[in-house]
């Protein structure tokens, strides 16, 4: 069964592929905070930021305030706070209290992962040259590399 786009003479093998394509018609745009490039899909923007700017974006909504406590008075104060979310007790002298954020700043994405890409690339090359090359010698070669894979 194929799924047809009503705007263009294009068919898709799955409904999810058609739905993803139809989102390009709704006019939503995603702007890169670093270089101001515009993308029609968020996943294209995320990939652009990862590849071009070597960064990943962190969701600001998922950030939370957390405190490790050993003071019972401070613990009771935070538990009674209106932003209290939950607590985890590790032992009788240590607890972690999670609080909702009072203010969420959406002015720009938080850039993380610069080191993650560098480390993963270093590990991939290390594995290729120190494990695979040693084992297969001249019978192995790199045909293609991109930001996160060796072929």
Residue 82 sits at φ, ψ, to 5 deg, of: -65, -20
3-state DSSP assignment of residue 91 = strand
pLDDT at site 77: 94
pLDDT at site 57: 58
Span 59-103, pLDDT tens digits? 666 777 888 899 999 999 999 999 899 999 988 889 999 998 877
What's the pTM value of the predicted model, to 2 decimals?
Answer: 0.35
Q: Are 116 and 56 in contact (CB under 8 A)?
A: yes
């Amino acid at each position: 069964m194929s799924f047809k786009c009503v705007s263009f003479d294009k068919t898709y093998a799955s409904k999810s592929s058609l739905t993803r394509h139809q989102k390009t018609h709704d006019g939503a745009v995603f702007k890169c905070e670093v270089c101001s490039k515009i993308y029609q899909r968020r996943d294209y923007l995320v990939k652009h930021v990862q590849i071009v700017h070597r960064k990943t974006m962190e969701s600001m909504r998922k950030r939370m305030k957390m405190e490790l406590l050993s003071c019972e008075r401070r613990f009771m104060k935070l538990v009674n706070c209106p932003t209290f979310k939950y607590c985890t007790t590790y032992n009788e002298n240590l607890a972690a209290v999670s609080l909702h954020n009072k203010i969420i700043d959406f002015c720009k994405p938080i850039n993380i992962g610069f080191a993650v890409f560098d480390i993963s690339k270093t590990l991939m090359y290390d594995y290729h040259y120190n494990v695979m090359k040693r084992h297969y010698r001249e019978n192995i070669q790199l045909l293609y590399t991109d930001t996160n894979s060796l072929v």
